[in-house]
Amino acid sequence: MRMRQALAALLLAGSLSMLGSRMPAAAATQPAATSSQLLGALKNMSAELAKFRGMMGNLTQSDLQIVDVATVLAPADEATFRRELKTDAEHISGFHETLSHTTFMDDDGVTTLVPTFLKAQKPPLTVEQFVAVHVTRSGQILLFYR
């Protein structure tokens, strides 16, 4: 009887872990983005884009974290944010071009274009809404949109 209970517990644990791997990336534990990361990404857009492009061959859905600027931008940083948007307009345009052609392996093992993934978000997003990318020390890619 104990052997059956132990076996049942193992099977249940295995089933739950398989279900957990099917959870969307947004449900995964991810580091919270900050206003300073957003501003740093804009100020260092060229370097951040280079890091992002260097990772493009091995991206997975769990590597990407989509961040709404409105949820992280501190009120005290709004003027700096607007100024950096104007200063980095050329890099932001290059970022849009890069995102348009970026693919990643989704949770089902299917190669997916980022624009296709963005359209499936709620609400749907477009590449043109994205203003910055930041690659964290742990390799998480923060994609900031507004």
* Domain spans in the chain, listed from the N-terminal domain onward: 25-145
Pinpoint the alpha helices (H) of 22-44.
35-43
Q: What is the pLDDT of residue 57?
A: 86
The model's pLDDT over 65-107, given as tens digits with 9 standing for 90+, comes to 999 999 999 999 999 999 999 999 999 999 999 999 999 998 8
What is the model's pTM? 0.77
* Residue 81 contacts residue 39 (beta carbons within 8 Å): yes
> Cα dist. 86→42, 80, 93, 132 in Å?
10, 10, 11, 13
Task: Extract the tokens encoding 1.
Answer: 């009887």
Q: Which residue has the higher pLDDT, 144 or 30?
A: 144
3-state secondary structure of 145: strand
Q: What is the pLDDT of residue 27?
A: 28
Q: Which residue has the higher pLDDT, 30 or 62?
A: 62
Other CB atoms closer than 10 Å to residue 18's CB: what's the count? 9
Do you know the residue count of the chain?
146
Give the least confident one: 6-10, 39-43, 117-121: 6-10
**CB under 8 Å to 119, separation ≥6 — which residues?**
125, 126
